[in-house]
Structure 1
């Protein structure tokens, strides 16, 4: 355990990551103290949380969350905001000094060099289960000894289906994830594997590993959360029952572990873990994300924004499941990329232009 009680500023407190973070904090009151809470729209639950944890500093909305980060001193900022709205709070946390426990992968993906330029070593601690697993495995060797990163994917609700079989799937089926309980956007992204593609971009940025040395393998049991292969042939894996409280706890107090936060594996029970190659024909999102990540600049922002608009259109019944990625690719081909260095303004403009272009194409859909 680290020394003093850690002051925690929690963004996205009413979402899945936020509520589980508060569970960890409530179980460890001597270790963590909540000093600020921010939510997107759920003012009623935010008020309940603030009363429960005795928090005076609260905010509603992404801009208010960014102001909260700049105004409230904290040791760690947990960014559990969903989507591109998390970029401002991410930059604010890195500019003001606390450790950033990052569950908002989009801010790193679209912000890329902007975020990395502010991130001193171990200032960003990933909260995604896969990236937390990679961080734990990477402790087994030096950066020069890493041969490749291997991210695991559950395969989502449509594992094993062909591309033809995916054409008629419904929004309700897309939300029936076999392992994780997540919100609409993340769950749908897990069904298309866009989420895994974004995680590949995130892994490359977090750990400075090129895309040709990052693989994805399907692991339906979701017990092995990711692996690192080293140059001597050893592969180190992090395994635990699926429970986000474990990576959340590491994000709160990295590199220290919080006793009792998760349930260990039961080695007295017979069990099998399986690994399958990713069907890139049925699920091309990972390969697309690698191309976008390699291009860099504002391309990841265009990918993320177009995907968000297409996912909402799918759930509104305006397009089919396979059309989600088709819209994304069309928007990537249509939105121009600015030259020169990446700026926050350029990222936000790319986000706006991509959403506008996606909406234009979606409105033309019969």
Structure 2
């Protein structure tokens, strides 16, 4: 059976690696996957090359000028503005859009009763109360693509009754490029050093989030939303080798972990093939050369964003949306040289102190919360 795949964010890290997985699987079994739709912002040359290779039916381009340029050079393709328009022609939608902009794809995929391969954690974090009811839509499936939640998903499959048997979820963190350094050491870090991740090749926003541990904090909120586990039963452990991707501890003291060499191809392939596994062995471990696996607690005093995420998650309502929005603004400001690295957490603290306590009941409520938090964050960042 051929699986029809739509890739939202096709020119980004997740999008291009999804294409690599599909290419590898189709080499093993021709016609296993067909890419029916793509979306991107403004990367015209990359999109045109993807159209030539993959032959999609529909392409969404957020930028008007880029959309017109692609339409002129690819006349046989239907061009649309909104990435959520890709859902209709797919069995599986890979949401690799970066940031809050991925919300529409998440909502429309689940609403349509399709499988969502979710790499865009912000949409679930910001809109958890709105997204959750959509997961009960007949046919809808949410399979996480990031390595930690994919690992939890696999570990939880081993339990016949996870609601009774699971004692604790353990998310592993590489520690990022600044593991072991103090707050004083990090007062003057550069953008270049923040982007030098020791084990993962990711986009700049996610890489900076990894350096602050905000990425792990947002994953804690996502784990709560995905699996319904209490925040008191979700822990983070630093594991610099990034081979153990996460673990589940059960009521009898057993712990089951998912291990593989660090590659996003594996969780992408897991989501594409679910409930089956793909045939290409991405992440296979050479046990003769693996070496040691180390674990340590996170430095919560230096990497304050981790506890900020726990606080926002426990507050509930639109607090996670406010945190996600504030962090996006702060990271953009850091990448552009407007604020220092250690000010990212400060901006988030200042924004959350002004949280209005709203509980969202619609996508519009989430969008409003995002806009309000962004406005406040920009005011803070722009202060002289």
Structure 1 residue 102 and structure 2 residue 118: aligned?
yes
How do residues 47-66 of structure 1 correspond to structure 2 at under 5 angstroms? 47-61=48-62, 64-66=82-84
Counterparts in 2 of 1:281 and 1:14: CA distance versus 1, 3 Å: same
How do residues 30-109 of structure 1 correspond to structure 2 at under 5 angstroms? 30-61=31-62, 64-69=82-87, 72-109=88-125
Which runs of no fewer than 5 residues in structure 2 stay unpaired? 64-80
Could you list the runs of 4 or more consecutive aligned residues of structure 1 that deviate by over 6 angstroms after TM superposition? Answer: none
Residues 313-352 of structure 1, C-alpha deviations (whole Å, 9 max, x = no match): 11222211111110111011124232x5522111111111
Structure 1 residue 330 and structure 2 residue 350: aligned?
yes
Match of 2:200 in 1: 180
Task: Report the 3-state secondary structure (helix = DSSP H, G, I; strand = E; otherwise coil) of the residue aligned with 2:202.
Answer: coil
Match of 1:19 in 2: 16
Count of aligned positions: 359
What is the rounded CA distance, in whole Å, between the counterparts of 2:360 and 2:323 in structure 1? 19
Q: Post-superposition shift, 1:270?
A: 5.5
Question: Which of the residues 334, 339, 361 maps onto 1:342?
Answer: 361
Structure 1 residue 264 and structure 2 residue 265: aligned?
no
What is the rounded CA distance, in whole Å, between the counterparts of 1:82 and 1:147 in structure 2? 32
Match of 2:127 in 1: 111
Q: Post-superposition shift, 1:250?
A: 0.7
What is the rounded CA distance, in whole Å, between the counterparts of 1:335 and 1:294 in structure 2? 13
Counterparts in 2 of 1:341 and 1:104: CA distance versus 1, 3 Å: closer
What is the rounded CA distance, in whole Å, between the counterparts of 2:209 and 2:290 in structure 1? 32
What is the TM-score with the length of structure 1 in the denominator? 0.95
Q: Indicate if the aligned counterparts of 2:172 and 2:244 stay in contact, CA closer than 8 A.
A: yes
Q: Indicate if the aligned counterparts of 1:194 and 1:285 stay in contact, CA closer than 8 A.
A: yes
How do residues 213-252 of structure 1 correspond to structure 2 at under 5 angstroms? 213-252=233-272
What is the TM-score with the length of structure 2 in the denominator? 0.91
Structure 1 residue 8 and structure 2 residue 5: aligned?
yes
Q: Indicate if the aligned counterparts of 1:137 and 1:236 stay in contact, CA closer than 8 A.
A: yes
Task: Report the 3-state secondary structure (helix = DSSP H, G, I; strand = E; otherwise coil) of the residue aligned with 1:58.
Answer: strand
Task: Report the 3-state secondary structure (helix = DSSP H, G, I; strand = E; otherwise coil) of the residue aligned with 2:299.
Answer: coil
Q: Post-superposition shift, 1:263?
A: 4.0
Counterparts in 2 of 1:51 and 1:261: CA distance versus 1, 3 Å: farther
Which runs of no fewer than 5 residues in structure 1 stay unpaired? none
What is the rounded CA distance, in whole Å, between the counterparts of 1:154 and 1:263 in structure 2? 16
Match of 2:171 in 1: 151
Residues 264-314 of structure 1, C-alpha deviations (whole Å, 9 max, x = no match): 111222510000011111112121101101111111111011111111111
How do residues 155-174 of structure 1 correspond to structure 2 at under 5 angstroms? 155-174=175-194
What is the rounded CA distance, in whole Å, between the counterparts of 2:290 and 2:270 in structure 1? 29
Q: Post-superposition shift, 1:41?
A: 2.0
Residues 211-252 of structure 1, C-alpha deviations (whole Å, 9 max, x = no match): 000000000000000000000110000000001111000111
